[in-house]
Structure 1
Amino acid sequence: MSAMNELDQSTRTEIEAAAFRRLLEHLDDNKDVQNIDLMILADFCRNCLSKWLVTAAEARDETLSYEEAREYVYGMPYSEWKEHYQGKATPEQLAALEARQAQKKAKG
């Protein structure tokens, strides 16, 4: 059994939350990493994290809109982040994303 599983739920949640906050900080420090690149390499992006936050809130009967979650993940309104940091996807990136999605679909 892993050491994490041996911790009480509250401590484990605190550690997981700290790791999540560190992930958000890391993404914020690396704004040059585009969402499409994250999707190609890891099959998730900042928008996915936002959706997961909304789902987690709903599971706890809390209200969190997608836009509110994105502002939390991006550290600013998404429209602002997009204007300042999101580049136009290249044909190569689009092809790589399509190949990744096809590969995922083939695995079932």
Structure 2
Amino acid sequence: MTDLSKDQQTELEAAAFRRLVQHLRGRTDVQNIDLMNMAGFCRNCLSNWYMDAANASGLEMSKDQSREIIYGMPYDEWKNRHQSEASSDQKAAFADNKPVDH
């Protein structure tokens, strides 16, 4: 493996993060509950981690602001456009698999 400088590592991590966000924005067919059930995180988790990182760096950021960064639009607008009601099976799987820190 190539030795990376701290700056190179940060650059690559940022690029991978941007690509993940872009991918999730394009996959509006994948519901957050499906992400949670399969991967243990969702768009909301990602936005919370973003907000936590901003706040830890001394930047004040609200949940609404961080969600708009991740979703590419206000969260309520995204929900109205793309979110469907979770099925009984999805809800049951979520209850069984819900991470402790979510």
- What TM-score results when the alignment is normalised by the length of structure 1? 0.87
Matched, 1:61 2:41: no
| 1:20 Cα deviation after fit | 0.3
Aligned to 1:7: 4
Q: Which aligned runs of 4 or more in structure 1 are off by greater than 4 angstroms?
A: none
Specify every segment of 5 or more residues in structure 1 that has no aligned partner in the other structure, as ranges. none
Aligned to 1:48: 45
Aligned to 1:97: 94
Matched-pair identity in %:
49
- Aligned equivalent of 1:16, options 10, 13, 21: 13
Letter aligned with residue 37 of structure 1? D
Structure 1 CA distance for aligned equivalents of residues 83 and 29 of structure 2: 8
- What TM-score results when the alignment is normalised by the length of structure 2? 0.92
Matched, 1:74 2:98: no
The answer to which structure has the higher helix fraction is: 1
Structure 1 counterpart SS, 2:12? helix
Letter aligned with residue 67 of structure 1? D
| 1:100 Cα deviation after fit | 1.0
Q: Aligned pair count?
A: 100
Greater relative CO, 1 or 2 (CA 8 Å, sep 6+)? 2
Structure 1 CA distance for aligned equivalents of residues 8 and 93 of structure 2: 40
Q: CA RMSD in A?
A: 1.2
